[in-house]
Chains A and B, each alone.
Chain A
Amino acid sequence: MKISFPYMGTVVIYKKLLELLGHEVIVPPRPSQKTIDLGVKHSPEFACFPFKVIMGSYIEACEMGADTIVTSGGHGPCRAGFYGEIHKRVLKNLGYDTEVIIIDSFNRNRKKVMENIMKLKGNNSWLKLSKAVKFTYDMIQEIDKFDKKIREIKPYEVKPGSVDRAWEKIQKEFDNAYSKRELKKAVKRSNEIINSLEISRIDERDRIRIGIVGEIYVVMESSINMEIEKVLGELGCEVERGHYLSEWVDFNLVPSFLKKSHEEEIIKKGEKYIEIIIGGHAKQTVGGIVDFKDRGFDGIIHLMPFACLPELVTQSIIPKISKEHDIPILSLSIDEQTGKANNLTRIEAFIDLIRNKKLNKYSA
């Protein structure tokens, strides 16, 4: 089996798990203009942006010889739940005989998940499978710690671009780790890389921290969200996302009796605003805003794919949350448009607003 997967965030992880199970893995290229063009061309016009980018990624993977694609299912009534099926059909119409394995939340459909796991397990022993899973699980936790760290120090880098280059190096370190010992070494090396960076810290009170919430794909995949974390970093803001792979795994794949996930907490915080599951990450978005505020963040950027229904619902609740919790929130729609000047203007003005608000608080 030549396996591929959708490109989202730190892809080292999916690659690692599949490799440890002895599969030949095809990593699709990081989404580029070509990916988007391919995806837009072969997707239904009304589909949301993540669908189109992922479609493009799949086509690129198939061109590279992938015969199987593993992906996750959607949440609840959002149309994303159906996307795996449609992707499969489009690929078939294009003449690719690709199997698409859709893994839904373990906490929702155990039987189907088990069936799919059996497919991936192949001839591996259960022991080997559980070892591989445990190893990648540990790895995601470590990588995400560094991911957060990087975004925390980016605004204070002395040499422009040095932190971004460090992050590339760190991902490579993890990519080369295949055993527990190597993982430990990767962590150690990554710490060294971080410590060797030249950083000029500022006064604690001047720090500006921004939380990014919204639909998971546009939040996690920097190549399609204008590299928003980097943009904010260059404007002097520390950034933390509302989605990390490790948290997604805890919430969706780890049986709930084993571990209580961070995401459950988040959802509880937003329960007041959206009671029922309306699909996508609407509940996580509203909960995430409250959580960031509770943790002392200064502002929220809400990313949504253009015309994403769950996030449109969230967007209409946002003014209320913003008022009740006294936190500025900026919603941005992401679509295939390449010019980022407009959004940049909004982001800059938003940061000015936050900075003024902060300064005023201290002088008052």
Chain B
Amino acid sequence: MVKAYVGIDVGSVSTNIVALDENYEVLFNYYARTNGQPLDAIKAGLEKLKKELGNNINISGVGTTGSGRQLAGVMVGADVIKNEITAHAVATTHYVPDVRTIFEIGGQDSKIILIKDQMVIDFAMNTVCAAGTGSFLDHQAERLGVPIEKFGELALTSTNDVRIAGRCTVFAESDMIAKQQYGFSKADIIKGLCKALVRNYINNLGRGKKLEPPFVFQGGVAANVGIKAAFEEEVGHEVIVPKYHNVMGAIGVALLAKEEVEKKKGRTNFRGFNSLQTDFVPSSFICTGCSNNCEVIKVEMNGTPIAMWGDRCGMWKEKVKRAI
């Protein structure tokens, strides 16, 4: 039996699970669409982990991150629940210790993280607009009838420079249609799109920041070689894409879980694989205590509430906290 540390990153688009051993080697890595059902996605991922490695590993620590971190944390009994910015930074500094700039592009948001001496010194995150994210590429790939996996390679074959507006998806789309009518090839247009996305990203998130190498590019979109090339052109420097670029958040929080458990002298809160059979029922109700009418989210385990959130006043949150 080896000790293993599990990291779970529940994002809006994908749910990722990794298991690391004592020497930080990745034993297991799982990447699947969340499809709006975080609980099912986590269950499916953990089932797979149990099937593949369940008899050989002893789970000694669990961490959760991503926008669904609270719910996931309650469900599995996490030792640490961390925001995705910190988690990403932790993982990257592990693989590229002298990293200074991290570009992270996910499905619904994108982040830039500046690091100095292995510590986050500045960050920015974009969620207001989808123009600089994976969803935008997904959508355009579909429009052009190019599978997203082929997108990047196709972009690299282009030799033409086609300028496409990157400020706004709506403008980008009309630009793209116009360029198509002019007779540019798909490859040219896709290259233009990659460059537009990178331009938008740098203008939006890198504004006023000094970007220094080494650069690391991660997140689901990092698989796209077209975007990587566009980044390299924009910053005029090599950009590193780590091997596990699409599960970096999960790796980061697994590392943090290990640290946390060691601090607590080896005890984990992990509920065990059996907890997958436990009935978790998230539900929500409108609290009528005041005119805010907050939508309060309640998670019940076998009929007893174990977590509540969403209330502005904190009344329900405290109630559960006191009861536990």
Contact = CB atoms under 8 A, between A and B. Distances in A.
B291 A33 contact: yes
A348 B322 contact: no
B314 A164 contact: yes
Contacts of A318: 208
Contact of B208 (A32, A319, A353): A319
Interface in B267-324: 290-293, 312, 314, 318, 321-322
B209 A319 contact: yes
B314 A161 contact: yes
Given A29-B291, A160-B321, A342-B125, A352 B312 contact: no
Given A34-B291, A160-B322, A316-B208, A341 B312 contact: no
B122 interface: yes
A128 interface: no
Contact of B83 (A29, A30, A328, A345): A345
B125 A346 contact: yes
A151 interface: no
B119 A349 contact: no
Contact of B293 (A33, A319, A350, A360): A33
Nearest to B294: A33
The interface centre, meaning the residue of A348, A352, A356 with most chain B CB atoms within 10 A of its CB, is A352
A230 interface: yes
A34 B290 CA distance: 10
B127 interface: yes
Contacts of A352: 82-83, 85-86, 120
B121 interface: yes
A349 B120 contact: yes
The interface centre, meaning the residue of B85, B209, B293 with most chain A CB atoms within 10 A of its CB, is B85
B121 to A, nearest CB: 7
B208 to A, nearest CB: 4
Interface residues of A, number: 29
A346 B122 CA distance: 11
Given A164-B314, A342-B125, A342-B127, A353 B120 contact: yes
B179 to A, nearest CB: 31
A32 B121 CA distance: 36
A342 B67 CA distance: 8
Contacts of A160: 318, 321-322
A318 B120 CA distance: 18
Nearest to A227: B312
Contact of B86 (A30, A230, A348, A357): A348
B84 interface: yes
Interface string A222-247: 01000100100000000000000000
Nearest to B295: A338
A330 to B, nearest CB: 9
A347 to B, nearest CB: 9
Contact size class for B?
A: 20 to 34
A32 B291 contact: yes
Interface in B50-84: 67, 82-84
B292 A345 contact: no
Interface in B5-63: none
Nearest to B209: A319
Interface in A135-179: 160-161, 164
A357 B107 CA distance: 30
Contacts of B292: 32-33, 223
Contact of A356 (B85, B120, B291, B318): B120
A208 B269 CA distance: 28
A353 B125 CA distance: 15
A356 B113 CA distance: 15
B123 A349 contact: yes
B85 to A, nearest CB: 4
A322 B88 CA distance: 23
Interface string B243-258: 0000000000000000
Interface string A310-350: 00000010110000000010000000000001101110111
A345 B122 contact: no
Nearest to B128: A333
A161 B82 CA distance: 23
Interface of A: 29-30, 32-35, 160-161, 164, 223, 227, 230, 316, 318-319, 328, 341-342, 344-346, 348-350, 352-353, 356-357, 360
A-B pairs, top 3 by smallest CB distance, nearest first, are A349-B85, A32-B291, A319-B208
8 contacts: A32-B292, A33-B292, A35-B291, A342-B109, A345-B85, A346-B125, A348-B82, A353-B121
Given A34-B291, A319-B208, A353-B119, 19 more contacts: A29-B291, A33-B292, A33-B293, A160-B322, A161-B314, A164-B314, A227-B312, A316-B208, A328-B122, A342-B109, A345-B85, A346-B123, A346-B125, A348-B82, A348-B83, A348-B86, A349-B83, A352-B86, A356-B119
Interface of B: 67, 82-86, 109, 117, 119-123, 125, 127, 208-209, 290-293, 312, 314, 318, 321-322
